[in-house]
């Protein structure tokens, strides 16, 4: 049989062949190609429901791929410059957790920035790894955490020579990149693995105008959200490994938590998106960059707003910047980013990615059109004209260095736990998460001390309309703490 090339999409092609076979399904799923659920079929379409199928010999099996899924994963590895790729159907959360589980066992240390996604800390709760946090530097004006300084990484490695891995965000939600190539060298020189959370970095692999991609920089593992900027379906992701990692062991780790009923809708979307990026990625990403550069210029011409870019680079904690990220500082019009986010959605029918206490992020990618950019720019200009107010009295967004009292697993699974009123929690050790979502970076994580500063931040974020997630009490009136 002919070896597949980047022009092929093996999973898509297998599903097309299946549709020609007129098979009578006496297997799951129970909707039987949509016939058993007319409302859902009318909503999603018969074409979609007809390929929502289970693993079978012609379609391979995600847990143990030997044919079409294996071919699709091999093509993805080739396209992204990895030794091997795994198709993941539990989102990049599952990819990130598989990285941590592969690198660390209970009691093993992992060096990482504190502004990680909650999935990383969840992984430590599950496997018992112990975090060595590098507190990121802060941009005082923008109020955003930056990347990891090389000196801070060196210090963490020197003080924790027994750590198993270093994890890097490449990039952060705001588009900030650390010097990942240098951090790879430091990790490897000290017998540590380099893990990269590239949830927001799919496009790095297909453009020479962007920061370096993790696998190109020599990382050992990278978790990549193709659904975010690569065009695949929500919840689809890829995990890439270098030849230093055992493919068989990584697959075993993945299969500890990944479903045995992998969605062919998600897998085919990964396959098709990889083909599209491999064949057309450079032009696609060029178009995105050009749209964002245009939008950035127009927004900065409105006045007061600040759409920032590579001028922020300092060759250390901001080693590089993802110029496809349309991050906009809003505090100078007297509104928090989350307030602008809400006005855009409620009054202009524009849904942006997220707003925090000082910034707004509009995610621009493969599916955006110039006319949509014009609409966003016009809305921002109008919001400034109508809503601008004095910005004095707004909370200065400072990075709050957490006081880690216990490893996340020990705190989360403690038997001694009290639920106390939020304002009575100062001085107690938190046993759960508190975060604004998105971006899903914890303000408090299990094992961290509750301080007055943290409480002030939580109250301010709630008042501004940030969606607070994580705690058992959905209204965050109460917080679980160590007894």
356 and 420, same domain (yes or no): no
Evaluate whether residue 157 is within a structural domain. Answer: no
In this model, does residue 294 exceed pLDDT 90? yes
Q: What's the full length of the chain, in residues?
A: 483
In this model, does residue 451 exceed pLDDT 90? yes
Evaluate whether residue 414 is within a structural domain. Answer: yes
In this model, does residue 26 exceed pLDDT 70? yes
451 and 370, same domain (yes or no): no
Domain that holds residue 372: 281-387
pLDDT score, position 398: 64
CATH for 447: 3.90.105.10
What is the average pLDDT across 310-324? 97
CA dist 44 and 24 (Å) reads: 21
CATH for 308: 3.90.1150.10
383 and 413, same domain (yes or no): no
SS3 289: helix
What is the average pLDDT across 413-422? 91
Q: What band does 397 get if pLDDT is binned at 50, 70 and 90?
A: low
Residue where a domain terminates, one of 321, 355, 387 = 387
* List of residues 6+ apart from 148 with CB closer than 8 A: 113, 134, 136, 168, 178, 183, 317
Residue where a domain terminates, one of 355, 387, 419 = 387
Evaluate whether residue 155 is within a structural domain. Answer: no
What is the average pLDDT across 378-399? 86
421 and 379, same domain (yes or no): no
375 and 421, same domain (yes or no): no
Percent of the chain with pLDDT over 70: 99
What is the average pLDDT across 110-120? 94
CA angle 309, 315, 321 (to 5 degrees): 25
Q: Are 364 and 295 in contact (CB under 8 A)?
A: yes
320 and 413, same domain (yes or no): no
The pTM (predicted TM-score) of the whole model is: 0.95
Q: Which residue has the higher pLDDT, 393 or 331?
A: 331
pLDDT score, position 1: 65
347 and 441, same domain (yes or no): no
CA 160 to chain centre: 27
304 and 338, same domain (yes or no): yes
379 and 286, same domain (yes or no): yes
What is the average pLDDT across 367-386? 96
382 and 289, same domain (yes or no): yes
* Residue labelled with tokens 């969840």: 122
Structure tokens at 184: 């790879």
Q: Are 225 and 202 in contact (CB under 8 A)?
A: yes
**Percent helix, percent strand, percent coil in the chain, to nearest 5:** 40, 15, 40
378 and 413, same domain (yes or no): no
Domain total of the chain: 2
Taking all residues of the chain, what is their mean pLDDT, rounded to a whole number?
A: 95
Evaluate whether residue 120 is within a structural domain. Answer: no
293 and 367, same domain (yes or no): yes
């Amino acid at each position: 049989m002919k070896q597949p090339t980047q022009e092929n999409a093996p999973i898509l092609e297998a599903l097309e062949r299946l549709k020609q076979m007129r098979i009578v399904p006496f297997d799951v799923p129970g909707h039987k190609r949509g016939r058993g659920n007319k409302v859902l079929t009318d909503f999603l379409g018969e074409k979609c429901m007809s390929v929502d199928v289970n693993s079978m010999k012609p379609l391979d099996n995600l847990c143990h791929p030997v044919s079409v899924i294996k071919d699709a994963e091999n093509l993805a590895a080739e396209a992204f410059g990895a030794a091997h790729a795994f198709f993941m159907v539990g989102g990049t959360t599952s990819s990130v957790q598989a990285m941590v589980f592969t690198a660390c066992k209970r009691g093993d240390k992992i060096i990482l920035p504190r502004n990680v996604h909650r999935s990383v800390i969840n992984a430590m709760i599950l496997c018992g790894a112990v975090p060595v946090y590098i507190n990121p530097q802060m941009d005082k004006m923008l109020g955003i955490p930056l990347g990891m300084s090389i000196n801070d990484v060196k210090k963490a490695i020197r003080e924790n020579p027994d750590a198993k891995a270093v994890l890097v965000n490449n990039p952060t939600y705001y588009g900030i990149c650390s010097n990942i190539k240098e951090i790879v060298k430091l990790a490897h020189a000290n017998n540590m693995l380099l893990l990269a959370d590239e949830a927001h970095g799919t496009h790095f692999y297909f453009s020479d105008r962007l920061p370096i991609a993790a696998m190109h920089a020599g990382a050992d593992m990278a978790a990549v959200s193709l659904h975010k900027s690569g065009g695949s379906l929500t919840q689809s992701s890829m995990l890439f490994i270098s030849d230093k990692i055992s493919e068989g062991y990584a697959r075993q780790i993945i299969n500890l938590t990944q479903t045995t009923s992998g969605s062919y809708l998600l897998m085919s979307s990964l396959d098709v998106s990889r083909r599209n990026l491999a064949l057309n990625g450079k032009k696609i990403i060029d178009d995105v960059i050009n749209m964002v550069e245009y939008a950035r210029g127009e927004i900065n011409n409105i006045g007061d707003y600040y759409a920032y870019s590579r001028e922020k680079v300092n060759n250390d904690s901001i080693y590089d910047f993802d110029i496809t990220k349309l991050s906009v500082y809003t505090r100078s019009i007297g509104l928090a980013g989350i307030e602008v986010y809400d006005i855009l959605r409620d009054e202009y029918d524009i849904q942006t990615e997220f707003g925090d206490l000082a910034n707004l992020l509009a995610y621009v990618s493969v599916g955006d059109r110039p006319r949509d950019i014009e609409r966003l720019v016009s809305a921002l200009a109008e919001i400034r004209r109508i809503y601008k107010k004095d910005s004095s009295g707004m909370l200065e967004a400072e990075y709050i260095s957490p006081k880690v009292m216990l490893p996340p697993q020990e705190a989360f699974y403690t038997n001694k736990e009290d639920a106390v009123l939020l304002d009575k929690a100062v001085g107690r050790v938190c046993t759960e998460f508190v975060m604004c979502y998105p971006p899903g970076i914890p303000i408090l994580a299990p094992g961290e001390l509750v301080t007055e500063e943290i409480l002030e931040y939580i109250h301010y974020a709630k008042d501004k309309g940030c969606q607070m997630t994580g705690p058992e009490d959905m209204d965050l009136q109460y917080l679980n703490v160590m007894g």
